Amino acid sequence: MERENRILIIDCGSQYTQLIARRVRELGVYSEIIFWDSPKEKIAAINPKGIIISGGPRSVLDVGSPVLSKNLIADVPVLGICYGMQLLAQLFGGVVERGEAAEYGHAVVEIEDSRLFSRCGEDKKLDVWMSHWDEVKKAPEGFRVTARSESGALAGFESADGRVAALQFHPEVAHTPKGREILSAFVFDICGCKADWTLGAEWVSREIEKIREKVKGGTVICGLSGGVDSTVSAAITQRAVGDRLYCVFVDHGMLRKDEGQRVMETYRSLDLNVRYVDAGERFLKALEGVTEPERKRKIIGELFIRVFEEEARRIGGSDWLLQGTIYPDVVESGHGGGGVIKSHHNVGGLPKDMKMGLLEPLRDLFKDEVRRVGRTLGIAPHFLGRHPFPGPGLAVRCLGELRKERLDILRDADAIFIEEIRNFGLYDDIWQAFCVLLPVRSVGVVGDVRSYGETIVLRAVSSLDAMTAEWVRLPYELLDTVSRRICNEVPQVNRVTLDVTSKPPATIEWE
Ligand SMILES: Nc1ncnc2c1ncn2[C@@H]1O[C@H](COP(=O)(O)OP(=O)(O)OP(=O)(O)O)[C@@H](O)[C@H]1O
Ligand SMILES: O=c1[nH]c(=O)c2[nH+]cn([C@@H]3O[C@H](COP(=O)(O)O)[C@@H](O)[C@H]3O)c2[nH]1
Ligand SMILES: NC(=O)CC[C@H](N)C(=O)O
Ligand SMILES: [Mg+2]
């Protein structure tokens, strides 16, 4: 059977699994992630041209750590990375032991001639990035060593025909400068993939056809947030079903300043059929006195669904619910074993007895890919470049009790912060920026008079996929302007502070 032009990534729990998938897709080849313990049939159905086994936090020496059956990788090229390499070593009869010390960060390896390194140039020394403790002490019988670190430790091996290859270091991270060349060699030269994953007009028309076939003559209801994911989902679905798509934009009273109005204007220019539902009072009433973050999220998530259901009834019933679910949502919510950090309202929160079918046209795409589809659909770049905004909105940025007066303070401060970021020309360089209002007051002095005012926190982060984030070193001049303007123009606030925590250990939002 002809294999599909795609790469399967088997996730053994690495922090970088999504990064491997992104790197392969950046080469123009579709890749899909699956957990190591997924049913065999599910893995077989993907029928890929190549498999990459990710790293992972466990040790192959422990009982219960991720394992794979040899059958699964019998007649397809496979690349094991870190834990994946240790697993391959074990599977084919090599020796893995606990190393004396962890090797973490930058390292230099000496490489041998190998198809995997054929695109790396002449230099036999490669800068790479390592993160491991266990070591492969002996490559399996019949395999040859392809890389060693300066200490002599084994850093790569491959089978005689090169179709089973392994690396101790991580080619997927930016700190391995030749990583892209190594992955290209695997994907194109060893697996024989073609670069056909472009998300251009062809992908879009195929997707439109798929939606059409699925929906048939039915009607579709869509929760539109003004964000990138739901807007691109709606735009592509509208091409498929036309005016049988009904969009609902819920104003839950926790939107940013003037957002309701602005979002509706945008949608008019996109020619989408959108109904604005003013549910502010209803949401705030349901949230009265609630301060616990998870309770807030649950209440909001449920009310969202109630509103969608009511709207569906209003149009005489709907056959489909359209959601802007994207790939990271799918991968993260499927992660067995990991504890719940926050309940994201659109993942896993749907009522079990829901009668509508789910339509999720972007569920295979990463955020940057969604933006690319948006461009193909002709959506304006300034819209596609918008910072993400969480469904629960300012509820998770207004700590403590949610009252309209407090939300207004936060709205005003936030609008100033964002306006100044734009004035300084930094909006597109920042992944996400916003203000937080603390449930803490402090003493100040203005015009010789004591004040006892509110505290605003400024938060700006850079990130790739929201899984990890770094705080942005904003210029002092910007911070100074923002702080002055907030205290002058939002009289309830007398203190402005800056959040200088990355994720982990913090998260991006405060609740
Ligand atoms: N105010 C809202 N009204 C209607 N639906 C909403 C609203 N807020 C969120 N949703 C729904 O929840 C989904 C998830 O929100 P999420 O913030 O992850 O995506 P988004 O808003 O489309 O994009 P972005 O990540 O760019 O903000 C949205 O796709 C949308 O269907
Ligand atoms: O649609 C959403 N519904 C939610 O419930 C939600 N919670 C957080 N976020 C956004 O997700 C990214 C990661 O946020 P955290 O680091 O706070 O978990 C950041 O971009 C957050 O803004 C949400 N988006
Ligand atoms: N990053 C990894 O995959 C680490 C693998 C294994 N847990 C080790 O410590 O060696
Ligand atoms: Mg959003």
State the residue for tokens 């994911």: 229
Is residue 106 in some structural domain?
yes
For residues 185 and 232, membership in a common domain is answered with no
Residue 505 in domain:
no
User: In this structure, what CATH number is given to the domain that contains residue 363?
Assistant: 3.40.50.620
Q: Which residues line ligand 2 (CB under 6 A)?
A: 297, 342, 344-346, 388, 390-392, 432, 466, 503, 507-509
Q: How many CA atoms, within 13 angstroms, populate the side-chain half-sphere of residue 1?
A: 11
| Same domain assignment for residues 233 and 285 | yes
Q: Is residue 273 part of a domain?
A: yes
Catalytic residue selected from 132, 170, 252, 345: 170
What whole-number distance in Å separates Cα of residue 378 and Cα of residue 271?
Answer: 12
DSSP 3-state assignment of 316? coil
Helix axes 367-376, 228-241, angle to 10 degrees: 40
The answer to whether position 507 is within a domain reads no
Q: Which domain holds residue 469?
A: 403-498
**Residue 13 located in a structural domain:** yes
292 is catalytic: no
Q: Which ligand is nearest to the CA of 326?
A: 1
Q: Are residues 270 and 236 in the same domain?
A: yes
| Whether residue 44 is found in the same domain as residue 91 | yes
Residue 398 annotated to the active site: no
Tell me which residue has tokens 């266990």. Answer: 134
SS3 97: strand
CA distances to 71, 154, 373 from 89, rounded to whole Å, are: 15, 11, 41
- List C-alpha distances in Å: 429 to 180, 380, 386, 467: 24, 18, 11, 18
Residue of minimum CA distance from atom 5 in ligand 3: 83
Residues 6+ apart with CB under 8 A from 101: 133
Cα–Cα separations (whole angstroms), residue 420 to 255, 360, 435: 19, 36, 13
Residue ending a domain, choose from 142, 166, 190: 190
Tokens of 278: 């003013």
Query: How far is Cα 434 from Cα 411, in angstroms, rounded to an integer?
Result: 10
| DSSP 8-class letter at 341 | S
Q: Which atom of ligand 1 is nearest to the CA of 389?
A: 27
Q: Give CA 481 to chain center in angstroms.
A: 32
Q: Which of 222, 225, 276, 300 to mutate to test the pocket of ligand 1 (most atoms within 8 A of CB)?
A: 225
Copy the structure tokens of residue 201: 């007009």
Q: Within this chain, do residues 418 and 290 fall inside the same structural domain, yes or no? A: no
Nearest to 167 by CA among 212, 132, 210: 132
Is residue 511 domain-resident?
Answer: no
In a domain, 208, yes or no: yes
Last residue of a domain, one of 190, 223, 241: 190
pLDDT at 336: 45
User: Can you tell me the distance from the alpha carbon of 394 to that of 462, in angstroms, rounded to the nearest whole number?
Assistant: 20
**Angle (nearest 5°) at CA 397 between 392 and 399:** 115
**Does 165 lie in the same domain as 53?**
yes
Ligand 1 atom closest to Cα of residue 222: 31
Q: Are 109 and 156 in contact (CB under 8 A)?
A: yes
The CATH number given to whatever domain includes residue 469 is: 3.30.300.10
Same domain, 140 and 238: no
Strand pairing class (50-53; 78-81): parallel
Whether residues 158 and 273 share a domain: the answer is no
Structure tokens at 308: 């969608």
Q: What is the pTM of this model?
A: 0.82
Domain count, the chain: 3
Decide if 503 is inside a domain.
no
C-alpha–C-alpha distance, residues 477 and 489, integer Å:
18
Q: Are residues 185 and 208 in the same domain?
A: no
Whether residues 157 and 212 share a domain: the answer is no
What is the residue with the minimal CA distance to atom 4 of ligand 3?
Answer: 132
Q: Are residues 450 and 490 in the same domain?
A: yes
pLDDT under 50: residue ranges of the chain: 336-338
225 annotated ligand-binding residue: yes
Question: Residues 418, 306: one domain?
Answer: no
Residue 151: which CATH number? 3.40.50.880
**Among candidate residues 139, 161, 190, the one where a domain is terminated:** 190
Q: Is 130 helix (H, G, I), strand (E, B) or coil?
A: strand
Expressed in angstroms and rounded, the spacing between residue 23 Cα and the centre of ligand 4 is: 25
Confirm whether 252 is a catalytic residue: no
pLDDT recorded at residue 482? 98
CA of 230 to the centre of ligand 1 (A): 6
pLDDT of residue 72: 86
How far apart are the CA of 509 and the centre of ligand 2, in A? 7
